[in-house]
């Protein structure tokens, strides 16, 4: 009984980690696109001293 519970718990943890990693990849792609769009818009407006981001 205990080995079955351990296997089921391990499968649940691995499934959750896989879902979380896939979600993190999508978030990383969205952040990268927003970051690149910021550079494109800054270059289009003349590249002044004003920054579009706060850091």
User: pLDDT tens digit string along 9-40?
Assistant: 888 888 888 888 888 889 999 999 988 888 77
Statement: residue 48 has pLDDT above 60? no
**What pLDDT score was predicted for residue 11?**
86
Statement: residue 46 has pLDDT above 60? yes
Angle at 54 between CA 25 and CA 48, to 5 degrees: 110
State the average pLDDT over residues 36-53. 68
Higher pLDDT: 26 or 45? It is: 26
**What's the total number of domains in the chain?**
1
Q: What pTM was computed for the model?
A: 0.57
The residue segments making up the domain with residue 24 are 1-55
Q: Which helix (H) or strand (E) covers residue 7, if one does? A: helix 2-44
């Amino acid at each position: 009984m205990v080995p079955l519970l351990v296997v089921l718990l391990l499968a649940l943890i691995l499934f959750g980690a896989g879902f979380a990693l896939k979600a993190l990849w999508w978030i990383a792609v969205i952040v990268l696109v927003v970051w690149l769009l910021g550079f494109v818009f800054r270059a289009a407006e003349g590249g002044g001293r004003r920054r579009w981001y706060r850091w």
